[in-house]
């Protein structure tokens, strides 16, 4: 009889692994994974990892959502002096704003018509005319004379005579501020206090003398006409008008002379 293969007494060979694509890669571990159960819950203050011990519990839940910080959308400019950010909300209508860090002004709009901005070396923001070529800083601790631009040069072919005007630094007799003036024989209006003074005593003294002489001449003429026409005035009333006119003209000239005598004099510091 033929021997039955299944009845052989030899040791049974191990089954060959399934090489099909549907077979799991790690055979024999499916039952172990199924018996492990769900992962342990997350522990906030987990103990540190110690070698030889299992890792701490973890959680598969993502961290809570934290919204990003909102950006400040207020209008702002950069300070031209300290480069800090200046918020201009509510001040958009102004031409310049003041920096809270360095206390200096920064323009946010164009200057008025016919004006321009100038930054002094002491960081003061000044406003002057477009045609200005020299300005003075009004700060007490600065008082710098700033040359903005050289006067336009005439072409070489031009034969016009050069017109030069002396420029002087004048100290105002009213507010003691310094400003630049072009001549020494005229009245000057201070750009700081807007009051009029005489640049040097010569101009005021000359005008006072002229008006005093004219006033005395009119008074003398009025007295002479009054004495000479006293008898005629009784018959002609028009002579009284001549008398009044002469005396009024003399008194007005004397008042003008007193004005120049008491005028404040601004002193000249030096010639530039």
User: Do the Cβ atoms of 41 and 59 come closer than 8 Å?
Assistant: yes
Bridge-based pairing of strands 196-199 and 265-271 is parallel
CA distance 236 to 7: 179
Residue that the structure tokens 């002096």 belong to: 81
Residue 203, beta-bridge partner list: none
Q: Determine whether 128 is an active site residue.
A: yes
Count Cβ atoms below 10 Å from residue 179 Cβ, excluding itself: 20
- Per residue in 210-241, is it b (16+ CB within 10 Å) or e — as a string? ebbebbeebbebbeebbeeeeeeeeeeeebee
Judged by phi (left if over 0) then psi (alpha if -120 to 50, else beta), residue 112 lies in: beta
Catalytic residue among 128, 137, 172, 190: 128
Q: How many CB atoms lie within 10 A of CB 98?
A: 14
For residue 74, give the 3-state DSSP assignment.
coil
**Closest C-alpha among 211, 215, 221, 265 to residue 243:** 221
Tell me how many degrees the CA angle 15-21-24 measures, rounded to the nearest 5.
65
Residue 180 CA to residue 61 CA, distance in Å, equals 78
* Residues with catalytic function: 128
């Amino acid at each position: 009889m033929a021997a039955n293969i299944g009845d052989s007494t030899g040791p049974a060979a191990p089954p060959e692994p399934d090489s099909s694509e549907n077979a799991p890669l790690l055979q024999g571990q499916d039952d172990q994974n199924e018996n492990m159960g769900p992962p342990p819950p997350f522990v906030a203050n987990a103990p540190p990892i110690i070698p030889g011990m299992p890792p701490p519990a973890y959680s598969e839940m993502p961290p809570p959502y934290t919204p990003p910080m909102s950006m400040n959308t207020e209008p702002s400019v950069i300070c031209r002096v300290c480069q800090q950010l200046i918020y201009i909300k509510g001040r958009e209508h102004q031409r310049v704003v003041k920096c809270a860090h360095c206390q200096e002004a920064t323009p946010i709009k164009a200057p008025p018509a016919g004006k321009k901005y100038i930054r002094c070396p002491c960081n003061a923001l000044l406003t002057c005319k477009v045609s200005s070529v020299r300005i003075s800083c009004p700060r007490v601790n600065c008082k710098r004379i700033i040359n903005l631009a050289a006067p336009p040069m005439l072409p070489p072919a031009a034969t016009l005579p050069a017109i030069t005007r002396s420029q002087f630094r004048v100290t105002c007799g009213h507010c003691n501020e310094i400003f630049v003036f072009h001549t020494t024989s005229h009245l000057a209006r201070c750009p700081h206090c807007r009051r009029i003074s005489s640049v040097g005593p010569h101009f005021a003294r000359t005008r006072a003398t002229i008006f005093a002489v004219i006033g005395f001449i009119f008074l003398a003429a009025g007295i002479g006409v009054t004495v000479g026409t006293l008898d005629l005035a009784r018959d002609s009333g028009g002579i009284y008008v001549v008398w009044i006119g002469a005396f009024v003209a003399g008194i007005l000239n004397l008042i003008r002379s007193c004005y120049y005598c008491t005028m404040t004099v601004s002193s000249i510091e030096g010639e530039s």
